[in-house]
Amino acid sequence: MTILQDQLDEITANTRELVQAERLAVSERAVEELFSTGIEERILPVGAVAPEFALQDVTGPVVRSEDLLALGPLVVKFFRGRWCPYCITELEAWRELYGPLRECGGLMVAISPQTGRQNEFLAAQHELPFPVLADPGCALAEKFGLVYTVPGPLREHYLSMMVNVPYINGDESWRLPLPATYVISPAGRVVLAEAHADFRVRPEPEEALDALVAAI
């Protein structure tokens, strides 16, 4: 079994070798400041009723949580965007587990504030078998308690790397979600909730798969 966090740690190690220390410090400081806000403690918790949603899929139709939960438990994966290598690595890990997830009777959606066009590029390039949904302005992510605004120095850092978040997301807010994994029971209750202020840390997909099986 491939450990997702090992793959993410390798990305971090490679980045530290390639990127100047003063540039890395901008990102490190932003992570520390975000953590200090206590945002991790305010995410929608286990036991809560999950907000309903109706979001656009890259294939065109609107995907409704009510319809998905009528079929079984649901994994909801919030991610930052196709520009984030950590998000891509995590989504590809889920791609490999999608077959077992479906065999267990579960479903999955991935949600980001990117425009539908950006999500379409992502889904095609990485051959994602699950719906990739657009959440304009992080409206749904906000209901899950996941949203923050990218601070000024980090905006400049992103732009210097050709990551134009306003263009990618189709608005000027610079709002992003914490990368987060939720498992929702058919009754609409949250049975697993995990999100980290440090974008380099993600839960192992198998943990969510275990929670999904228990929710059936």
* Predicted confidence (pLDDT) per residue in 142-162, tens digit: 999 999 999 999 999 999 999
Under 8 Å CB-to-CB from 85, ≥6 apart: which residues? 11
Instruction: Please state the rounded mean pLDDT for residues 24-52.
Output: 96
Q: What is the mean pLDDT of the chain?
A: 95
pLDDT at residue 19 is higher than 90: no
Residue 61: other Cβ atoms inside 10 A: 9
Q: What is the pLDDT of residue 18?
A: 86
Tell me the CATH number at 150: 3.40.30.10
| Tokens describing residue 205 | 């997909």
Tell me the torsion sign for CA atoms 122, 94, 78, 4: negative
For the chain, what is the domain count? Answer: 1
7-23 as b/e: b if 16+ CB within 10 A: bbeeeeeeeeeeeeeee
Higher pLDDT residue, 22 or 63?
A: 63
Q: What is the pLDDT of residue 2?
A: 64
User: Angle at Cα 64 formed by Cα 86 and Cα 182, nearest 5°?
Assistant: 40
The pLDDT-based confidence of 61 (bands split at 50, 70, 90) is confident
pLDDT at residue 197 is higher than 70: yes
Q: What is the pLDDT of residue 93?
A: 96
State the pTM of this model. Answer: 0.95
Q: Which domain holds residue 98?
A: 4-215
Instruction: Please state the rounded mean pLDDT for residues 121-148.
Output: 97
pLDDT at residue 48 is higher than 80: yes
For the chain, the first-to-last Cα distance in angstroms comes to 24
